[in-house]
Structure 1
């Protein structure tokens, strides 16, 4: 069943293993495409079955019989409750077996407002798709007894590194505002094949427009600009500009994604290091990069390195989408959220968070790194 994002503060069902109940709001009118030919008064079960479980007409009625689907007050709906437009429906999703993934989440920082952890590769930030229980959010809520814990930003499941949560509701909005207003300095590290004309210490800036179409895994990237050297970040659209644009009914069609790329080192892959699937022995010269995103679009760093000619090693989405679940634990996506810096919005202190993880293909520190 789908989930509606806006939910009342008071939920009629408790969390189960750190997982919130699902909340749906019925459409105002019963969809004509779901209309049953033999009924003039459709039921709630008719709607939920037609929308989510047309292949299993007994699933929803069985859950209604068990009293597992309730309204805002927590009162169970009856098996033949009528469909009422605008009404609320709450239930707990039934969990299916999930793939085993790394779940270690060392704490990097904690106070009464914030919990920051060092996320491993392959662990989802929040419940989505096949991963509901095996997520950072659910694990931390249970392990730290923090039922109100909520994410203030996200990392892709394949990306490791610094991840920040608000421990209580009053902290969430101020923290999210820091990200929205670009008051958080983020650095990532990545390993790719060498980028043409980018030597150690060199920088380049990638700007583009990135759009994500619902239902598509890859993003669409247009109007790409690759600028050698260091450039000041593009000025974000101000609130006044945004308000004026929206009042005129115009959509923002300018560049919306920008990343600075710095070459940290160019080196030969040690023969003892994990092998790179698909590369022959003559293509083992790699580049260790520092990435500074000045915006936060979906798959931005992946798309920008692809545009620069060297997609991130271990990527199963770019340049070509591989089969679902084709993760190779021996070679995770070579992308790490290394640092995150901001001024604590509730205490005023400087917060500097640094991941202690390492990328499998990153060069060892010290002599020998070229």
Structure 2
């Protein structure tokens, strides 16, 4: 009886095919005698020709009309070429998104903390936009605004690329009311007032200051100068030394609410950037930033319909 050799376990792949196709447009002046392989090698010189050949053989390159590209296909002027990239395997975020509201034009979705909003950098597959495209089959979904990866809450998305600018203008022109919530420890002074029964709620601050880029570049800081940011922050409830705050950003600077809370001496619980930038670490899904984009109110710029959407609030 012959001995069999032990079978080694299959290695875990380090890359997978992107779940969404990328595309490149063939210019109007491209040579009609140019093959697609030649065009792609010229357009992406950092990608080896054999990689393009392998993608084409695997039917991972196709035209806008879904017709597959072959190794002998010639370019088509003014046409989009779609292709799937190989991307690094991404960690799955074990927190669920959900669609809170939708109509013919838009989706308002809840984005959990730690989930990126859209593909960027090393994040390709595991983001809200990709999840929604796969869930709905609508490949043109685009967000109308930003929401930090660390922040959970409501995101407004256009179902069509052509409609995105109309919804983006709501945020750019201040024609939408955004309400956030945050939980943070009270300052010693506020705590003393609460214990002495001299703290009257709600207590409101108008915060205006100048926010600029800091180091590292994804952070921001407050400096002297003409204010370029404005938030209304209201302490609504107190329990066990913690405050529940309502935050209304009038402007939309990066990290504005986090910085404005910090500037009042009440940094938000589990904020890894302010007041002190923490060293890079693995996500702890039990220690989420206690900041929530809780409500959006606006008149739809296309249908004129009043929209008022909220998600489950934070509680003390």
Q: Provide, for residues 114-153 of structure 1, a one-character-per-residue CA deviation record: whole Å limited to 9, x for no partner.
A: 1111121111110123321111100101111111111101
1:60 correspondence with 2:48: yes
Residue 142 of structure 2 is matched in structure 1 by 150
- What stretches of structure 1 of length at least 5 have no aligned partner? 1-14, 26-42, 50-58, 79-87, 225-253, 269-284, 364-370
2:219 corresponding residue in structure 1: 218
Matched, 1:327 2:276: no
In structure 1, the partner of 2:181 is: 189
Partner deviation per Cα, 1:281-305 (whole Å, 9 max, x = no partner): xxxx111111000011111111111
Q: Which residue of 2 aligns with 1:119?
A: 111
**CA distance in 2: counterparts of 1:117 and 1:311, whole angstroms:** 27
Following superposition of structure 1 onto structure 2, how do residues 187-266 of structure 1 map, counting pairs within 5 Å?
187-195=179-187, 199=199, 200-212=201-213, 216-223=217-224, 254-266=226-238
Partner of 2:120: 128
Whole-angstrom distance in 2 between the partners of 1:187 and 1:71:
43
CA distance in 1, matches of 2:52, 2:136: 33
Q: Who is 1:94 aligned against? A: 86
In structure 2, distance between residues paired with 1:203 and 1:286:
16
Alpha-carbon spacing, 1:219–1:76, altered in 2? closer, same or farther (3 Å): farther
- What is the match of residue 310 of structure 2? 354
Q: Confirm or deny: 8 A CA contact 1:191 1:288 kept in the other structure.
A: yes
- 1:336 equivalent to 2:272? Answer no
1:45, distance to aligned residue in structure 2 (A)? 7.3
> Counterpart in 1 of 2:22?
21
TM-score (norm 2): 0.73
Contact 1:162-1:340 at 8 Å conserved across structures: yes
Aligned partner of 1:141 in structure 2 is 133
Residue pair 1:213, 1:219 contacting (<8 A) in 2 also? yes
1:293 aligns with 2:249: yes
Given the superposition, is the C-alpha separation of residues 24 and 334 from structure 1 closer, same or farther in structure 2, using an over 3 Å criterion?
Answer: farther
Q: Judging changes above 3 Å, is the alpha-carbon distance between structure 1 residues 214 and 197 closer, same or farther for their aligned structure 2 residues?
A: closer
Distance 1:168 1:334 in 2: 32
Between structures 1 and 2, the one with greater strand share: 2
**CA contact 2:118–2:128 (8 Å) conserved in 1:** yes
Q: Is the 8 A contact 1:314 1:331 kept in 2?
A: yes
Deviations 1:71-114 (A, max 9, x none): 99997999xxxxxxxxx997543221211213522222111101
What is the CA–CA distance in structure 2 between the aligned matches of 1:151 and 1:170, rounded to whole Å?
12
CA contact (8 A) 2:113 2:150 kept: yes
Q: CA deviation at 1:185?
A: 0.4
Distance 1:89 1:127, change over 3 A: same
Alpha-carbon distance, 1:319 to partner = 1.9
Instruction: Report if aligned partners of 2:18, 2:87 keep a CA contact under 8 Å in 1.
Output: no
Q: Number of aligned pairs?
A: 266
Residue of 169, 172, 182 corresponding to 2:161: 169
